[in-house]
Amino acid sequence: MMRRMRIGVTATCAAAVLVLAACSSSSSSSSSTTTTSGPSFNEGVTSVINPSTAKGGTITYDDSSVFDSTDPGNTYYAHVWNFSRLYATPLMTYTSTPGAGGNDLVPALATAPGVVSDNGLTWTYTIKPNVKFEDGTTVTSADVKYAVERTFDRTVLPNGPSYFQVLLGGNAATYPGPYKDRSKNIMGLTAITTPNPTTVVFHLAKPFADFDYVVAIPQTAPVPPDKDTGANYQLHPISTGPYEFQSYALNKQLTLVPNPNWNPADDPEASQLASKIVVNFNVNADDIDNRLLAGDIQMDIAGTGVQAAARARILSSPSLTKQADDPLSGFMWFFYINTKVAPLNNVACRRAIEYAANKITLQDAYGGSVGGDLASTAMPPTVIGYQSFDMYEALSKPNGDPTMAKQELTACGQPNGFTTGIAYRSDRPKEVAAATALQAALATVGIKTTLHGYPSGTYYSNFAGSPAYVHSHDLGIDIGGWAPDWPDGFGWFDEIANGNAIVPAGNTNIEELNDPVVNNYLAEMESASSTSALRAMLANEIDHQVMSDAVMLPIVYAKSLLYRSPALTNIYVQKYYGMYNYAVLGTS
């Protein structure tokens, strides 16, 4: 099939009347500007704004909600992983830099990426000697092993990802974690061995080429076993980063102060500039943007952009627009099209939806071009191996193609359309708008849909993520968003397109795709013989296959309109997180 030009960006620029400045800078090359009038719109995506080594001051973050946990072993949110770099150092991390390099792995606690041996089954890391915890004790490999071990007890630490349980060999399948029967189980995970205090070896059950990405997850940040208080560790994790906990009123306010035992040479990707960092939780979401713009706080920690009111204010004021960045967040919004709910089990019926959808109204639901770029693939541009293509005229006919849609309807035996349900999260106004827009577009070709809203807290656990519920309630189309745990094709597709990933609750392969082509590609990506070039190519192939199966209706590659507080120094967008890098900030 033809590979289309990347016309997506220009098309959205034409639609955005107000953002003339945005057009010129977002399609420009990634060279830093040195205008005398100060930084410009989107400059934080490609350059460091306000570089400075000055120390002192307080940085205040506001959170409209709470962290799932401050415990680095118990969290699964991008902004928390970002923030945890201030007090937790995992084995690997991402280079702290603006622009494309922000997706590159670099050793953090480790001295080098993992050394692979044994046909891809063994990964050996050497950790830097003399790295200290906040209390002055030296970090050893046993602390790293223990940090991973404790995540195995899902009753104490239920929130983090479960890659280690799935990937590691030895007794990983039955290891209960170090909290039950501590005398027997502490250090009892045979899949991790520590031959000496600076070496930690992981024994995998099967080869997994992306393992360096896995150890970049904060779960490998060392935890001293004698200071581990289990569920209460979140109140004061023992820091290996530039800051330590001074006080934490759970879900109310967190205060960090510099860690005197941190050595900057041990972690060049983080900085210790501000003399105090404060996070306020459960702040009124309608008010955070006001506080940010008024200068009462310096950052909205969620990092997903300002709300509609502030967006309008920023875009209509040139002085405010210069202090905003609109990066790709790494997120993608789309609709899953379930393959089990009739008549969507027929691929032609699914393709009809692809053609009938009105991409422009869907994009508007997410805030127009500022909220995201029109998407035509199942994988966003931030994933390694991405190439643009357009199978269903999403870019060439963004308002939809009713003619083609009706052809597909005839092909699947439903010439007059059919009925199905659209599921979405009712407490997310953008999703409400998107579901409504899709309903209207599908109705024009005779596809009648009923809308079903659910609370976001239980959307994945009880509703869209429960195949039984989806089937019994005819939820053929389910909205979703996805961000990869790491930026390559496996990290993107495995949970959402692998036939083996379908589970009865908390399911993320909501379209219930079980395509052997895709499954095989995914297996091949992680085999011992895979190289990064191969993985990039396979990612692209999976993308095409998934789109050909028409199990995902892409909406937008999400962008976040972030406001860059002028009080902050060293501020730029870290490509991996799709938001500002919190580990390097200072204040003037």
Binding residues for other proteins (CB under 8 A): 62, 65-66, 68-69, 74, 76, 154-156, 158-162, 165-166, 179, 230-232, 234, 249-252, 280, 282-284, 286-287, 290-291, 293-294, 296, 427, 455, 457-458, 460-462, 466, 495, 503-506, 508
Measured CA to CA, the distance from residue 265 to residue 111 in angstroms comes to 12
| Largest CA-CA distance found in the chain, in angstroms, rounded | 72
Length of the chain: 588
Q: Report the residue number, 48 or 288, with the smaller CB distance to other proteins.
A: 288
Q: Report the residue number, 104 or 296, with the smaller CB distance to other proteins.
A: 296
DSSP letters, 364-379, are HHTTGGGTEEE--SSS
Closest separation in Å from C-beta 66 to other proteins:
7
Do residues 289 and 309 touch, judged by C-beta distance below 8 A?
A: yes
Q: Report the residue number, 425 or 559, with the smaller CB distance to other proteins.
A: 425
Closest separation in Å from C-beta 283 to other proteins:
4
Q: What is the DSSP letter of 227?
A: G
b/e map 260-293, b = 16+ CB within 10 Å: ebbeeebbebbbbbbebbbbbbebeeeebbebbb
Strand partners, 559: 328
280 CB-near residues (< 8 Å, 6+ apart):
60, 61, 62, 63, 252, 253, 297
DSSP letters, 230-281, are GGGGGGSPPP-SSEEEEEEETTTEEEEEE-TT--GGG-TT-----SEEEEE-
Closest separation in Å from C-beta 181 to other proteins:
12
Q: Report the residue number, 94 or 152, with the smaller CB distance to other proteins.
A: 152
Closest separation in Å from C-beta 461 to other proteins:
4
DSSP letters, 65-104, are S--S-SSTTS---HHHHHHHTTT---SEEE---SSGGGG-
Closest separation in Å from C-beta 76 to other proteins:
5
CA–CA distances in Å: residue 500 to residues 26, 494, 507, 509 = 39, 9, 11, 9
Closest separation in Å from C-beta 499 to other proteins:
16
Q: Report the residue number, 177 or 476, with the smaller CB distance to other proteins.
A: 177
Q: Report the residue number, 249 or 342, with the smaller CB distance to other proteins.
A: 249
Closest separation in Å from C-beta 174 to other proteins:
10
Q: Report the residue number, 76 or 389, with the smaller CB distance to other proteins.
A: 76
Closest separation in Å from C-beta 362 to other proteins:
25
337 CB-near residues (< 8 Å, 6+ apart):
344, 350, 353, 476, 477, 511, 550, 551, 552, 553
Do residues 377 and 386 touch, judged by C-beta distance below 8 A?
A: yes
Measured CA to CA, the distance from residue 63 to residue 369 in angstroms comes to 25
Closest separation in Å from C-beta 96 to other proteins:
26
Q: Report the residue number, 45 or 297, with the smaller CB distance to other proteins.
A: 297
3-state SS assignment for residue 398: coil
Q: Report the residue number, 133 or 459, with the smaller CB distance to other proteins.
A: 459
